[in-house]
Amino acid sequence: MRAGTAVVPTKVVPQRKKLMNLTLQHKRALVTGGSRGIGAAIVRRLAHEGAHVALTYVSKPDQANETAKAAQALGVQAIAIQADSADPEAVVAAVERTVAELGGIDILVNNAGIGSFAPIDEISLKDFDRTFAVNVRAVFAVTQAAVKHMKAGGRIINIGSCNAERMPFAGGAVYAMSKAALVGLVKGLARDLGPRGITINNVQPGPVDTEMNPANSDFAEMLRRQVMALPRYGTADEIAAMVAYLAGPDAGFVTGASLTIDGGFTA
């Protein structure tokens, strides 16, 4: 699937009231997998800080449009672009569309990800390959495309997982491996991009209350009782706040790092 046409109009943008401390004002951001959950929270937070935002989605254009409109209501440009992260041509095209529509790219958030959980005897090579295509290859492809347009001060933020550090139950080996790969990728790319004034980091969430992993499930109750140091799930807005920090000027000396926000999951 190649990057599709943006569904949300961008030429009419409501005017933001004059506010102070818009730390990302006039910045241009792309958030992959930004239509719902953590991705949507990141889109809203970056828009709240003044950034113009593009987001990608695979399906459910209505949901993607709703997220983009929520960002537009904060007085910024926002576009929704259909692009399956399993298709490298589609995500590279999404970068080019972002640059064309927003006038450049300063912030890249690699949020799109999938999880395939099954014991070693049951997980298929097809599931293995798709997990790595979305969770690792797409991150590399989008980053490679984005840095061609980034100037000094650019920010790249990957949404990894605390499972890169700890996998406390069976069936998660492939997912954990894909997220651990981002740790090495970030360390290596920090060396490539540092001389250009571009930072790259991972955010590693623990259990977060989303549609895909609700906090009111039996599984969540098990984690709260047996695994977590803080007996609650995190919120998407808490993850978005850490992303906003890494995207902003206060994080200019942070690169090559994997920052864990997991309620003590890995403690």
What would the DSSP string read from start to end of 159-206?
Answer: E--GGGT---STT-HHHHHHHHHHHHHHHHHHHHHGGGT-EEEEEEE-
Separation between Cα atoms, residue 59 and residue 240, nearest integer Å: 22
Instruction: Give the separation between CA 164 and CA 183, rounded to whole angstroms.
Output: 8
Q: Among 9-18, 156-165, 211-220, which is the least confidently predicted range?
A: 9-18
Q: Is residue 267 part of a domain?
A: no
Just list the catalytic residues.
175
**Per-residue pLDDT, 11:** 43
- Residue 211's pLDDT band (cuts 50, 70, 90): confident
Domain that includes residue 253, residue range: 28-261
In a domain, 5, yes or no: no
Asked whether the predicted pLDDT for residue 179 surpasses 50, the reply is yes
Q: Considering the domain boundaries, does residue 12 fall inside one? A: no
Residue 49 lies in a domain: yes
The tens digit of pLDDT for each residue in 31-90 reads 999 999 999 999 999 999 999 999 999 999 999 999 999 999 999 999 999 999 999 999
With bands split at pLDDT 50, 70 and 90, how would you rate the model's confidence at 264? very high
Answer whether residue 22 is part of any domain.
no
Q: Give the whole-number percent of the chain exceeding pLDDT 90.
A: 88
Instruction: Report the alpha-carbon angle 166-169-173, nearest 5.
Output: 70
Q: Which residues contact 45 (CB under 8 A, 6 or more apart)?
A: 237, 240, 241, 243, 244
Q: Is residue 4 part of a domain?
A: no
Phi first, then psi: give them for residue 262, nearest 5 degrees: -135, 10
Q: How many separate domains does the chain show?
A: 1
For residue 248, is it within any domain? yes
Residue with tokens 């589609």: 90
pTM: 0.91
CATH of the domain at 167: 3.40.50.720
Residue 76 lies in a domain: yes
Q: How far apart are CA 178 and CA 114, in angstroms?
A: 10
Nearest to 31 by CA among 78, 72, 101: 78
